């Protein structure tokens, strides 16, 4: 069969939300995945599964996590994360550049969309291990990020694939969409390469959910700038901008932060692309509790400027800008118990030593004298009279440094010491296609809707600029994917 009501390009979270919504609306649905089945799922499969949404209190959490015991509820402060807080974070983090209509659709639709996903059989649980620390016998969540998908990104994609198959949605792997069928007015299907041959598949509507262009070295260097060919790719090797390219070829409008991306601190010796056996374990996100130094041994960024889920997506770019594109994260024994699980993986690039002098000898590429001078200067500047509290922005900072540390500043003086070698890992690109915020329909460069063409996920431009609040990517894919599926089915 090569004719369907709705054709979805991609097989990550945004794609499956579109597919499930279209099928729920009564459409026949085909999902085309460029990757082989064992590597399918796009970047969604590489995430930890954190998903940001607005909630008013514990009852909203209980509705999505009915497995929570009373004992867990009694020792946990979930707080609230209101729509107002979500809006504030989106505007603050993107320097007030986020498209207000896209942002409103995302924020206002976040809770209801998560409830829709849960009603379909997707499960969520609190992120105890990464977003809450236990202080005085009680967990307190921070940073507006509370829930993750059961089984992380791999569990999310696996469950969505299962639900799609049960719903009668056909999935074809190793099937690369190469161009859109377009009659000059309406998109009528796609041209697909499978098994070395080109095929045409007809459809009433097409939903593009094929990711950004982060795995396209040439595009990264062209749009993000010189040096970006040196970045590691955190996720799939298959997000090379195909969906964006196909739409631009028929006159779609581009928009958003084409020179911007989500990029993090990533293990220096990680492979060129993501490794599903490790997942997101190559990331190194506990830097707020230590310091980061470059090849000169100097600090170059405020590690404690904000909670890590408001800074981690932009600090990868800063690391890439350092000499030889690397940094070392340094911790002492006062905080090593706070380090996230990713610091304990087998494939970690780590050195440890009983003294700072011997640690410096092991930190490859770092000027020893510069490092020891920097540590001494930093230790002397720490305001140690302010209590340390990892659950809040504690104001325990430094005084008199050219590069301050605003929160969670501790002297680095209790050995043994640990240092972790990192570089830049790119997650996804921010530039993409212009869509109607309320329908997810792609807009042409004449600023008119393109009949039969919709988009969701990373390839939607205009939502994120410079940075992004952690967990918003999966939420965006869910909100706009569901919306695209519903409207494509009604097409």
| 257 assigned to some structural domain | no
pLDDT at 147: 97
Domain boundary residue, one of 371, 401, 425: 425
Would you place residue 136 in the very low, low, confident or very high pLDDT band (cuts 50, 70, 90)?
confident
> Is 148 in contact with 50 (CB distance < 8 Å)?
yes
pLDDT at 210: 98
In this structure, are strands 197-208 and 187-194 parallel, antiparallel, or unpaired? Answer: antiparallel
471 in the same domain as 416: no
* Mean pLDDT, rounded, of the chain: 96
pLDDT of residue 134: 83
242 located within any domain = no
Q: Do 375 and 435 belong together in one domain?
A: no
The pair of three-digit structure tokens given for residue 158, joined into one six-digit string: 């696996």
Strand-pair category, 29-32 with 170-172: parallel
- Is residue 133 over pLDDT 90? no
Place of tokens 């990264």: 220
**Integer Cα distance of 443 and 247 in angstroms:** 10
pLDDT at 24: 98
Query: Is residue 316 left, alpha or beta, with left meaning phi > 0 and alpha meaning psi from -120 to 50?
Result: alpha
**pLDDT of 215-254, one tens digit each?**
999 999 999 999 999 999 999 999 999 999 999 999 999 9
Which residues contact residue 136 at a Cβ distance below 8 angstroms, ignoring those fewer than 6 apart?
Answer: none
Q: What is the pLDDT of residues 49-70, one digit of tens each?
A: 999 999 999 999 999 999 999 9
338 Cβ contact partners less than 8 Å away, ≥ 6 residues apart:
133, 286, 289, 390
Instruction: Look up the CATH number of the domain holding residue 383.
Output: 3.90.700.10
- Per-residue pLDDT, 131: 85
Model confidence pLDDT, tens digit, residues 409-434: 999 999 999 999 999 999 999 999 99
Instruction: Let me know if residue 222 belongs to a domain.
Output: no
Strand, coil or helix: 435: strand
Last residue of a domain, one of 375, 395, 425: 425
The helix or strand, by DSSP H or E, that contains position 317, with its residue range, turns out to be helix 312-320
Average pLDDT, integer, range 288-298? 98
Contacts 24+ apart (CB under 8 A), 128-135: 129/340, 129/341, 130/48, 130/50, 130/285, 130/340, 130/341, 131/50, 131/309, 132/76, 132/391, 133/338, 133/390, 133/391, 135/389, 135/390, 135/391
Using CA atoms of 98, 115, 67, 166 in order, give the dihedral in degrees to the nearest 10.
-110
Specify whether 143 is located in the same domain as 10. yes
* Pair 418, 434 in one domain: no
Which one of 406, 425, 444 terminates a domain?
Answer: 425
Give the residue among 426, 435, 430 at the shortest CA–CA distance from 467. Answer: 430
How large is the C-alpha radius of gyration of the chain? 23
Q: Which structure tokens are listed for 50?
A: 């954190």
Biggest distance spanned by C-alpha atoms of the chain: 71
- DSSP assignment, residue 227? T
Euclidean distance between CA atoms 60 and 114, whole angstroms:
11
| Residue 26 within a domain | yes
pLDDT band at 180 (very low <50, low <70, confident <90, very high): very high
pLDDT at 137: 85
Instruction: Give the CATH number, domain containing residue 46.
Output: 3.50.50.60
| Cα atoms in the 13 Å half-sphere on the side-chain side of 452 | 19
Q: What is the pLDDT of residues 310-338, one digit of tens each?
A: 999 999 999 999 999 999 999 999 999 99
293 and 316 in a single domain? The answer is yes
Q: For residue 406, which of 473, 310, 318, 276 has the smallest C-alpha distance?
A: 310
Residue 129: is its pLDDT beyond 90? no
The span from the CA of 366 to the CA of 77, in Å, is 42
387 part of a folded domain: yes
Q: Do residues 404 and 445 share a domain? A: no
Say yes or no: 365 and 343 in one domain.
yes
Query: Is there a single domain that holds both residue 315 and residue 401?
Result: yes
Predicted confidence at residue 143, as pLDDT, reads 86
pLDDT higher than 90, residue 457: yes
Residue listed under structure tokens 């490859």: 364
Which of the residue ranges 142-151, 235-244, 289-298 would you say has the lowest mean pLDDT? 142-151
Q: Locate 21 and state its tokens.
A: 């919504």
Tally DSSP H helices, then E strands, for the chain: 13, 22
At 135 the pLDDT is: 80
pLDDT above 80: residue 1: no
- Which of 138-142, 148-152, 155-159, 169-173 is the least confident region? 138-142
Domain that holds residue 61: 3-213+430-490
What single-letter DSSP state applies at residue 253?
P
**Together in a domain, 288 and 386:** yes
Distance CA 425, CA 342 (A): 14
């Amino acid at each position: 069969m090569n004719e369907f009501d709705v054709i979805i390009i991609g097989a990550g979270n945004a794609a499956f939300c579109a597919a499930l919504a279209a099928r729920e609306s009564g459409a026949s649905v085909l999902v085309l995945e460029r990757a082989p089945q064992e590597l399918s799922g796009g970047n969604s499969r590489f995430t930890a599964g954190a998903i940001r949404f607005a909630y008013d209190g514990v009852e909203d959490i209980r509705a999505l996590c009915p497995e929570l015991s009373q004992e867990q509820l009694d020792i946990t402060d979930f707080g609230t994360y209101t729509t107002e807080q979500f809006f504030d974070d989106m505007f603050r983090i993107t320097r007030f550049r986020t498209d207000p209509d896209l942002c409103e659709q995302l924020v206002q639709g976040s809770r209801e969309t998560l409830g829709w996903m849960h009603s379909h059989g997707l499960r969520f649980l609190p992120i105890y291990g990464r977003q809450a620390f236990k202080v005085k016998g009680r967990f307190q969540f921070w940073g507006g990020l509370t829930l993750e998908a059961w089984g992380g990104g791999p569990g999310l994609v696996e469950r969505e694939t299962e639900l799609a198959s049960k719903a009668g949605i056909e999935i074809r792997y190793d099937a690369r969409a190469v161009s859109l069928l377009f009659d000059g007015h309406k998109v009528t299907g796609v041209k697909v390469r499978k098994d070395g041959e080109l095929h045409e598949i007809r459809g009433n509507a097409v939903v593009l959910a094929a990711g950004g262009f982060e795995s396209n070295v040439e595009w990264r260097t062209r749009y993000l700038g010189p040096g970006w060919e040196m970045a590691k790719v955190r996720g799939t090797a298959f997000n090379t901008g195909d969906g964006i390219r196909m739409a631009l070829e028929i006159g779609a409008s581009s928009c958003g932060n084409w020179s911007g991306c989500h990029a993090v601190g990533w293990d220096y010796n990680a492979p060129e692309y993501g490794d599903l056996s490790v997942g997101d374990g190559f990331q190194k996100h506990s830097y707020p509790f230590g310091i980061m130094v470059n090849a000169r041994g100097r600090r170059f960024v405020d590690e404690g400027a904000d909670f890590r889920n408001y800074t981690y997506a932009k600090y990868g770019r800063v690391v890439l800008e350092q000499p030889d594109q690397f940094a070392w994260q340094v911790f002492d024994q006062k905080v090593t118990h706070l380090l996230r699980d990713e610091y304990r993986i087998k494939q970690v690039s780590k050195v440890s030593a009983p003294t700072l002098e011997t640690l410096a000898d092991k930190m490859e590429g770092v000027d020893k004298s510069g490092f020891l001078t920097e540590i001494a200067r930093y230790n002397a500047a720490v305001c140690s009279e302010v209590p340390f509290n990892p659950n809040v922005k504690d104001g325990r900072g430094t005084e008199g440094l050219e590069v301050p540390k605003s929160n969670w500043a501790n002297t680095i003086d209790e050995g043994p010491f640990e240092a972790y070698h990192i570089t830049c890992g790119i997650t996804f690109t921010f530039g993409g296609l212009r869509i109607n915020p309320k329908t997810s329909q792609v807009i042409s460069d004449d600023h008119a809707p393109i009949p039969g063409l919709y988009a969701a996920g990373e390839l939607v431009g205009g939502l994120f600029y410079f940075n992004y609040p952690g967990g918003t990517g999966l939420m965006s894919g869910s909100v706009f994917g569901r919306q695209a599926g519903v409207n494509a089915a009604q097409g």
